[in-house]
Structures are given as C-alpha cells and as structure tokens.
Amino acid sequence: MFTGIIQTIGKIINIILYKKIYSLHIKTNKKFIKNLKIGDSISNNGCCLTIIKLYNNIMIFNIIKQTFNITTFKKVKVGDYVNLEKPIKINSFVGGHIVLGHITDIAIITNIKNYNFSKILWIKPNNILQMNYILKKGSICIDGVSLTIDKKLKNKFSVNIIPETLSKTTLSKKNIYNYVNIETDIYTRSIIQTTKKLYNHNMKYFK
C-alpha cells in the first residue's frame, strides 16, 4: 500500500517489449534507490510495479500486456517522467490516503486553470461509471498523487494542485488532453458497492 505522497520523480530511459512483456527502465536518484532490493514494490504514476533488477540508480520493472493496456504506460515514451513512491511501513505516518496502486481507470485532462503558484485540473475518466466513486471533498489518486476532489460534474471532476505538489510531482508538466492514471478511493468503492448489493438484495423481497 501507498499514501499518495510522492517521494521523488524518475525518468523513463528505456522501454523494451519481449514476449508480450514490457520492460520499463526508470532512472532516479541514489537516495531513493538506497536500501531497495529486487522484489520490492514501487508506485510508478500510481501503478504498483515490482522491481526485477537494480543497477546504479536505475530500476527495472516488468509490465504485463493487461496492465500496459489499462494504464497510461501505453502512452508513455522514453524521456517521460514518472512519480515514484515506496510502500508505506506499518509504523509510518499516513500523510495522504490509503492507495493500493491498482489503477481503476485512465482519464483525460480537459481543462487547466493556471494561477501564480497553483493550478486547477479538470479530469474526465474514460469510463463514466467511475464517477459513481468520485465524491466532492473525497480522496482520489492521480498519477500516484493523493488529492482531494474539489468539484464534481456529470462526467468530470476537478482537483486543486498546491505549490508543494507542483514542485515535487509531474503534475506541473501536464497539459490539456494529457492522460493520467486514476485510482478511486478503496473505502468509497467498498461502501458504495456494498450498499448497492444490499439494496438489490432487499428489493427482491418487495417485488
């Protein structure tokens, strides 16, 4: 699990496809990579990936075709940057919210409002059903970043990006029509899905 508090930014230096498995090479700083080992999980733009090889300050991950197709990794290229976070420890302070690293959808940025030291992103999920789990003032993970939903319309929502987040994540580099990974809040999903099942179950007895 993760918290959505980005620890550093990495750079994609190579993408290799071999036998339907993609190999993603991420270069980062030596401070972040220190004490990591093969088999550790790292959040890459919100997607939980397992380290299969380490050398110098480079991490290598495998991405199966299914994960590649349902995330923004199908759109990235060499030279792009990604948000990185190590898994949360049991005794760690949770500064964001609980993030599983399981992408629920990709979404497109439809509008950006820039201010002196902050910006507002309007984001539209590919699957409109994701809006069922997006609640005003609720939590959401955008490219691995824990954010609070500001406004919600029928098919899109907005988030405010503060100066600290802009300076430490790739969200500062986003443009209109760029795609991002989103993970809706696990607790919100669980409550809504459970309530729906109970409602449907009870309605059987009123027919």
Question: In this structure, what are the phi and psi dihedrals at residue 144, rounded to the nearest 5 degrees?
Answer: 90, -5
* Pairing of β 21-27 and β 105-114: unpaired
Fold classification of 105-193 is Elongation Factor Tu (Ef-tu); domain 3 (2.40.30)
Residue 3 to residues 60, 71, 79, 108, Cα–Cα distance (Å):
22, 19, 26, 23
- For residue 150, what pLDDT is reported? 97
Listed by start position, the domains of the chain span 8-85, 105-193
Contact present, 163 and 86 (Cβ < 8 Å): no
**What does the alpha-carbon distance between residue 47 and residue 195 come to, in Å, rounded to a whole number?**
27
What is the amino acid identity at position 83?
A: N
Q: Which amino acid is at 174?
A: K
Asked if domains 8-85 and 105-193 share a fold, the reply is yes
Strands (E), the chain: 8-18, 21-27, 41-44, 47-55, 58-64, 81-85, 105-114, 119-125, 139-142, 145-152, 157-161, 179-184
Q: Apex CA 108: angle with CA 141 and CA 168, to 5°?
A: 45
Tell me which amino acid residue 47 is: C
| Domain 8-85 coded CATH 3.40.50.300 | no
Residue ranges of the chain with per-residue pLDDT less than 70: 91-93, 199-207
Strand-pair partners of 83: 9
